[in-house]
Amino acid sequence: MDATTSSSPLDPQATSTARVAPPPRSPRVDPFADPSVRSRRRIAAAMVFAASAGLLGVAAWLTPEKGGMGTHLQLGLPPCGWITGLQIPCPTCGMTTAFAAAAEGNLLASLRAQPFGCLLALATAVTAVVAAQVLVTGSALGGHMVRLFGPRVGWTMLVLALLGWAYKIAAFKMSL
């Protein structure tokens, strides 16, 4: 009997070249086929769709101010405290105007009002469409989109927000 065919596992003549069959695999279960997973996914998509569509609906109801900010006054909100107190716009100045202009389909006016606000308005519209698709079909597309967001995207968004704010400050100073 040679070393690879030794019948005893304790045989000192046996070598490690003996092959052991892998354990049998259990059948694959598709977690996305589970009706409870699809149901939870649809409930989450309904909430995301309601929030996104609601935000865009309010933005569509507003009339964007020509000056690039101040649209929020139509919602009964007070004037920007940064402008009245510090004579510079706050980081969110122009966001409501950008959303209102984007909701009207005027992306150039949205971009002029607040570039980051324009980007957020477009992202909100995409979010509403994806949420509607998940709501109707129960697909996992929304989950795949969420997994795209990580620290790199977060830092990029922060930099874009700061750049949008810098643009808004420069535009405000030039309009004085």
For 42-162, where are the E strands, in sequence order?
none
* Dihedral sign from CA coordinates of 58, 63, 66, 71: negative
Q: Within 10 Å of residue 15's Cβ, how many Cβ atoms?
A: 10
For residue range 155-172, list pLDDT tens digits in order. Answer: 999 999 999 999 999 999
pTM for this one? 0.78
For residue range 24-69, list pLDDT tens digits in order. Answer: 776 665 555 667 888 889 999 999 999 999 999 999 999 999 999 9
For residue range 111-159, list pLDDT tens digits in order. Answer: 999 999 999 999 999 999 999 999 999 888 888 888 888 899 999 999 9
- What pLDDT, on a 0 to 100 scale, did the predictor assign at position 140? 87
